[in-house]
Amino acid sequence: MEGTPGNGDDRLREATDRVAAALATVGNWMFAPATRRRIMAASGLELSLGDYTLLAQISLHAPVRLSVLAEQMEVDKSTLSPPAKRLESRGFIERQPDPADARAKLVSVTREGKLAIRRLWKARTAAVAALMEGWEPSDIEHLADGLAAFAEAIKKGA
């Protein structure tokens, strides 16, 4: 019965469960190899999944040490070296001395890398738009607003 103590809590808990389940599905789709391959194909860039992932991570965190990215990605640093070398040879990233430690290097995205990222994000946006084909514009706007607020909460809590 509406107005019963706890009833709103149950509805909120159920809604929160639905949000968590939906986010898991979205995350699985966004990071599925098939999705990333589709995005790469649509972008016209020829990158391996590892190169794509590393370029995206560097673009989000640069300038950054590969060792820091490896920790964040929960992989061994040695697994990031080959894709970093490939990205550097294509002119997508560059290494600079770390001002805090001259022995270490910081990686960042070059102008060419930023252009590649724009192509990837444009292809990603098109893939998302295809899934929302037929939606009401107001529903897309509400979803965008809700997800933006959720992303801000994540950033503040991180």
Which CATH number is 100's domain given?
Answer: 1.10.10.10
Q: What whole-number distance in Å separates Cα of residue 31 and Cα of residue 10?
A: 31
> What is the residue range of 110's domain?
14-130
In this prediction, residues 102-114 reach a mean pLDDT of 96
The reply to whether 158 falls in a domain is: no
Q: What does the pLDDT look like over 122-142, one tens digit per residue? A: 999 999 999 999 999 999 999
Confidence of residue 158 (pLDDT cuts 50, 70, 90): low
The identity of residue 142, as a single letter, is H
Angle at 148 between CA 64 and CA 152, to 5 degrees: 55
Residue 47 backbone phi and psi in degrees, to 5: -125, 145
Under 8 Å between Cβ of 108 and 62: yes
The reply to whether 44 falls in a domain is: yes
Give the count of domains, the chain.
1
The reply to whether 102 falls in a domain is: yes
Q: Which pLDDT score is estimated for 6?
A: 55
Residue 32 backbone phi and psi in degrees, to 5: -65, 135
Q: Which pLDDT score is estimated for 144?
A: 97
Q: What does the pLDDT look like over 69-100, one tens digit per residue? A: 999 999 999 999 999 999 999 999 999 999 99
- Return the bridge partners of 106, or none: 96
Segment holding 121, helix H or strand E: helix 111-131
The reply to whether 6 falls in a domain is: no
Mean per-residue pLDDT of the chain: 93
Q: Which pLDDT score is estimated for 102?
A: 86
Q: What does the pLDDT look like over 2-49, one tens digit per residue? A: 444 456 799 999 999 999 999 999 999 998 999 999 999 999 999 998
- Note if the bond before 63 is cis, omega within 30 degrees: yes
The reply to whether 154 falls in a domain is: no
Q: What whole-number distance in Å separates Cα of residue 85 and Cα of residue 78?
A: 11
